[in-house]
Amino acid sequence: MPATSRDQLSPPAAVVPRRPGRLSGRRRATSPWWFAVPAMLLFAFVVLVPSARGVYYAFTDWDGLDPNSSFVGFDNFTGLLDDPDAVQAVWHTLLIAVSVTVIQNVFGLLLALGVNSLIKTRNVLRVLLFAPAVITPIVTAYLWRNLLGPSGAVNSLLGTVGLDSLRQDWLGDPQLALWSVVGVIVWQFGGYSMVIFLAGLQSVPKEVHEAADIDGAGPIRRFWSITRPLLAPAFTINLMLSIIGGIKLFDQVYALTGGGPGHATDTLSTLIYKDAFTLGEFGYSIALAVVLTIIVAVASTGQYLVLARGERAAS
Amino acid sequence: MISTRLSAAIAAVTAAGLLAACSGGTNAAGGNSSTTLTIASQDQGSIEPVVKAFEKANPGIDVRLTVSSADQYQQQIRTKLASGTGPDVMSVWPGNGNPAATYVLAKPGYLLDLSDRPWASKLPDAVKTVSQYQGKTYNGVFGLNGIGAVYNQDALDKAGLTPPGTWTELLDFCKDANAKGTPAFALGIQDNWVTQIVLYALAATTVYGPDPDFDKKMQAGQATFADSPWTTAMAKYQQMDKAGCFQKDPLGTSYEAGQELAATGKTLGIIQGNWVIALLKGKNPNGKFTLRALPATDTPSEFLMPAAGGTGYGVNAKARNKELALKFVDFVMSPEGMNLFVTTQGGLPTRPDTGFTPDASLTELSTFVNDDRTVPFMDQLWPNPKVQQSMLSGLQEIFSDQSTPDKVLQAMDADYTSGS
């Protein structure tokens, strides 16, 4: 009785007769395609169908409320090109994505190299540096909103050490606000990149380094010729995660600046939210979401192809 | 397998959040008990005692109350109504111009006509205009709120200053306050809705004083923001900023931080709605705060205060328990319910016949209301939410030198005429 209940749940024909085959190695790789059907159906119903229905609304003037909306063709998309806020938001999105990707990974890699060395406190440091990544982004954002306020901790600290001239209205100055947001994201997720790089670093065999050492290679040479190529998979993962995260950034921006002052820090995501839920322009907002989806898809696919080639070349 | 499922689930949730959340929904069935009433409200902290009193007066009923902040509420209620899962009773903003306002929800037929309720005819005209759509009442607006300068008495005493009575005195007051090392008013416009408050306080007198029918002219296309005394209101806002009326770095200061400054006497006051008084008292229970009209000209008899019906309650046209829903709204609009509600909120009741004694801090507002020297909050009669949003981000841009008052008013005009 206990044994049967589980079997009843399994697909009938597949398991029993083919059992020997599954163990023989070669057949193991080819499960029947219809094994994937339940998962595909679930995926279709939960993701594909609603998404497709969502995309349809990008071609309407739906206000999110009135059940009747009319088809407007590509009006929402052409309107987007004439909307200076949208164009600016695309620019901000790309600026954040690129700068976060570069700074966070340089920062993460340096941290990883640091805590991979033999310093005594390395385990404590690893925990501390990773800690911000486990906090909910919205919480960190509110925390930093206070720290970066005109009389917040950052300005107080600058004042205390005599650097009054460097005190700024970090989130209220439109020239600075975007960079403050970037800084907060790097602070939070630098440790996350570090962990992935660290895992990569620890998979580099010691013997290779020792051999190179004997051959007289210095630390920079060893990093460039041994560590860097072997870290290629870690780079792929890290760059991909940070660029996708940067492009779809919402919560930190929304909590830190709300897209302001004015529209100085609006990203595509904050604009999508505002257009839909504040202005009730769901059609237009979904058009923006479609554009965002396309940007994410193109950027991540492109990046993956380039990096995967790099990985192959390195291995 | 588990990890595949997990990642599929994560992928599903993530992707769904992007697009699928926006697509239509289905009608959900729910409980149909005649003793259950569902209420969705944004009156955090003040509706709870009202619901308790209602339950006490109607034993045996089960009120299911959902309370959320205004932002959250506005996005949820639209989704709920559009998908047929709306509550029986819901918070509805007066007039037009925001996603859950009376006109916006009444137009597609989501609200029940409340014109025949006993209280509907007893509302003052200023409240009627914003609780009705096409001549029918849809919103039980129970409270009045006003905007003005809220002074911290202890801080004033310490600085040896008294509240200014005219525009010229106001600018001197700001200079004197700075000379004492305490700026006059806290301004926390990192939260962009706060930017409009000072402007409304000024526009009430400068725009509606000379032209009480300004809104009607706007609706008829006979007036524009850019070519009206709105420019004066904008100029005075900037003049106040230049005169040092506000603390440093207002754009980096949040609403919350602004309250902190005013409550603890780091500024002499704050220009806000009467609702801020309860919040200031929360931060400084011993403080004494009074709301006064903000001088915008040198003739005090011209002063008008923005005062408007606050968020009220409407009944879902498809309410599952219509009878109980109406009973609740009637209770809110009864003298008992109304007084209970506005006492916890720190406002004034909309009905003049409730025998309500306002808190001492609101004496001036109460006088202005009784003398009919108030104008509705300006956005309540605007045709769509875009006008207000352009104003809010535009004011932030003015404060950060990214834009000018003329440009902002022109953008508001463009949005005004872009339809509803």
- Determine contact: B18 vs chain A, CB below 8 A: yes
Asked if residue B3 belongs to a domain, the reply is no
Percent of chain B clearing pLDDT 70 (strictly above): 92
In chain A, the number of structural domains is 1
- Please give the average per-residue pLDDT across B338-351, as a whole number: 88
pTM: 0.81
More confident residue, A122 or A198: A198
Q: Are A215 and A207 in contact (CB under 8 A)?
A: no
d(CA A62, CA B149): 41
Predicted ipTM of the assembly? 0.77
pLDDT of residue A2: 42
pLDDT of residue B381: 85
Asked if residue B13 belongs to a domain, the reply is no
Residues B181, B226 within the same domain: yes
Name residues whose C-beta falls within 8 Å of residue A213's C-beta, 6 or more positions apart in sequence. A222
- Using CB atoms, pick whichever of A258, A277, A285 lies closest to residue B192: A258
Whether the predicted pLDDT of A206 surpasses 90: no
- Please give the average per-residue pLDDT across B387-415, as a whole number: 94
Asked if residue A177 belongs to a domain, the reply is yes
Closest to A263 (Cα-Cα) out of A96, A92, A142, A145: A92
Asked if residue B191 belongs to a domain, the reply is yes
pLDDT of residue A28: 61
Buried b (16+ CB within 10 A) or exposed e, B281-310: beebeebbbbbbbbbbbeeeeebbbbbbbb
Which segments of B139-166 does DSSP mark as H helices, in order? 153-159
Q: What is the pLDDT of residues B326-337, one digit of tens each?
A: 999 999 999 999
- Please give the average per-residue pLDDT across A3-13, as a whole number: 42
Residues B336, B403 within the same domain: no
Give the B window 77-106 contacts with A, CB below 8 Å.
78-79, 81-82, 99, 104-105
Q: Are B154 and B288 in contact (CB under 8 A)?
A: yes
Q: Tokens at residue B36, please?
A: 């259950």
Query: Distance from first CA to last CA of chain A, Å, rounded?
Result: 52
Query: Distance from first CA to last CA of chain B, Å, rounded?
Result: 51
Q: What is the pLDDT of residues B23-74, one digit of tens each?
A: 333 333 344 468 899 999 998 888 999 999 999 999 999 999 999 888 778 8
Q: What is the pLDDT of residues A148-188, one digit of tens each?
A: 999 899 999 999 998 888 888 999 999 999 999 999 999 99
Which of A45, A66, A278 would best serve as a mutation to test chain B binding (most B beta carbons within 10 A)? A278
In chain B, the number of structural domains is 2
Whether the predicted pLDDT of A288 surpasses 80: yes
Residues B200, B314 within the same domain: no
Residues B325, B395 within the same domain: no
pLDDT of residue B25: 35
pLDDT of residue B308: 86
Give the A window 50-69 contacts with B, CB below 8 Å.
50-51, 53-57, 64-67
Which residues in chain B touch residue A145, judged by CB atoms under 8 angstroms apart? 190, 254
Residues B36, B159 within the same domain: no
Q: What is the pLDDT of residues B123-170, one digit of tens each?
A: 888 788 889 999 999 999 999 999 999 999 999 999 999 999 999 999
Asked if residue A250 belongs to a domain, the reply is yes
Let me know if A187 is exposed, middle or buried by CB neighbors in 10 A (0-12, 13-18, 19+).
Answer: middle
Residues B109, B218 within the same domain: no
- Please give the average per-residue pLDDT across B5-13, as a whole number: 40
Using the beta-carbon criterion (under 8 Å), do B20 and A53 form an inter-chain contact? Answer: yes
pLDDT of residue A314: 65
Residues B38, B53 within the same domain: yes
Using the beta-carbon criterion (under 8 Å), do B20 and A145 form an inter-chain contact? Answer: no
Using the beta-carbon criterion (under 8 Å), do B78 and A150 form an inter-chain contact? Answer: no
CA distances from B192 to A262, B73, B380 (A): 8, 18, 17
Whether the predicted pLDDT of A65 surpasses 80: no
Residues B88, B155 within the same domain: no
Whether the predicted pLDDT of B345 surpasses 90: no
| Chain B residue whose CA is closest to A264 | B397
Residues B384, B399 within the same domain: yes
pLDDT band at A73 (very low <50, low <70, confident <90, very high): confident
Asked if residue B7 belongs to a domain, the reply is no
Closest to A107 (Cα-Cα) out of A189, A203, A227: A189
| Chain B residue whose CA is closest to A43 | B12
Q: How far is A281 from chain B (nearest CA, A)?
A: 10
Buried b (16+ CB within 10 A) or exposed e, B95-116: bbbbbbbbbbbbbeebbbebee
Residues B184, B261 within the same domain: yes
- Kindly report the CATH number assigned to the domain that includes residue B159: 3.40.190.10
pLDDT of residue A27: 53
Percent of chain B clearing pLDDT 90 (strictly above): 67
Asked if residue A57 belongs to a domain, the reply is no
pLDDT of residue A33: 85
Q: What is the pLDDT of residues B76-103, one digit of tens each?
A: 898 899 888 999 999 999 988 778 899 9
Whether the predicted pLDDT of B15 surpasses 50: no
Phi, psi of A309 (to 5 degrees): -65, -40
Which residues in chain A touch residue B414, judged by CB atoms under 8 angstroms apart? none
More confident residue, B9 or A236: A236
Residues B265, B167 within the same domain: yes
CA distances from A285 to A81, B22, B51, B273 (A): 13, 9, 37, 32
- Determine contact: A293 vs chain B, CB below 8 A: yes
- Determine contact: A286 vs chain B, CB below 8 A: yes
Q: What is the pLDDT of residues A17-48, one digit of tens each?
A: 444 444 444 556 677 888 899 999 999 999 99
- A-B interface: how many C-beta pairs under 8 angstroms? 146
Which structural domain, as residue segments, surrounds residue A222? Answer: 75-314
Closest to A248 (Cα-Cα) out of A55, A85, A94: A94
Which structural domain, as residue segments, surrounds residue B194? Answer: 145-308+376-417
Asked if residue B61 belongs to a domain, the reply is yes
The overall average pLDDT reported for chain B is: 88
pLDDT band at B244 (very low <50, low <70, confident <90, very high): very high
Q: Are B171 and B243 in contact (CB under 8 A)?
A: yes
Q: What is the pLDDT of residues B157-173, one digit of tens each?
A: 999 999 999 999 999 99
Which of B18, B102, B418 would best serve as a mutation to test chain A binding (most A beta carbons within 10 A)? B18
pLDDT band at A190 (very low <50, low <70, confident <90, very high): very high
More confident residue, A303 or B41: B41
Using the beta-carbon criterion (under 8 Å), do B22 and A67 form an inter-chain contact? Answer: no
- Kindly report the CATH number assigned to the domain that includes residue A212: 1.10.3720.10
- Determine contact: B23 vs chain A, CB below 8 A: yes
Asked if residue B1 belongs to a domain, the reply is no
d(CA B381, CA B376): 8
Of B11-15, B262-266, B284-288, the one with minimum mean pLDDT is B11-15
Asked if residue A13 belongs to a domain, the reply is no
pLDDT band at B420 (very low <50, low <70, confident <90, very high): low
Residues B292, B412 within the same domain: yes
